[in-house]
Amino acid sequence: MNRERLLMLVEIAIFAAIGIILDMLSFSLPQGGSVSFVMVPIVLMAMRWGIGAGLVTGLLIGVLQMVLGPKIYHWAQALLDYGFAFTAVGLAAVVRQPLLTALAGMNKVKIAIYVSIGAIIGGLLRYFVHTLSGVVFFSEYAGDQNVWVYSIVYNGSYMLPAIILTAVVCAFLFTASPKLLKR
């Protein structure tokens, strides 16, 4: 195994552990869900190493959450809420190429914009997966409401603040220390 690949794997493990700790320091909402910085390490790895590392970091965080304190009602719901949802955050790396171009020119405004866009993309994909899980597995809680509206509102109550916080923190991290993008 070459040295760069080993470094990437070590960083994935470290940032997954950091993600779990950040998730434990979350702000839980009364109706369920929580606002945390769990997506920050996933976005950081995605921007630093690319889509593959971001996906693996997200998957590892989801699996660790499933082991440490799951709320599982059906095996497919566990797969959606823990496997796919956090893995999807790794797709924040779709903006990595323009981000690296902005880094080469040390354009901090563009760095902040691309990192924020990536974090928002990853966060919205996670939000979509949680919403889909809500529609399929938690429809009985909707009562007389449209199940899609219920799931969108419920998951949005914690996901939208989490997405905004992640975008702001990541933009701040990468503009304050652009070296984070260099391996």
**Alpha-carbon separation of residue 161 from 33, 38, 120, 144 (angstroms):** 11, 12, 11, 27
Question: Residue 87 in contact with residue 60, Cβ under 8 Å?
Answer: no
Q: Does the predicted model carry a pTM greater than 0.85?
A: yes
User: Which CATH number is 3-181 given?
Assistant: 1.10.1760.20
Tens of pLDDT along the chain (183 residues) come to: 799 999 999 999 999 999 999 998 988 877 777 899 999 999 999 999 999 999 999 999 999 999 997 778 888 888 999 999 999 999 999 999 999 999 999 999 999 999 999 999 999 999 999 999 988 888 777 788 899 999 999 999 999 999 999 999 999 999 999 888 876
Q: Cα(151)–Cα(21) distance, rounded to whole angstroms?
A: 27
Give me 68's structure tokens.
Answer: 């440490």
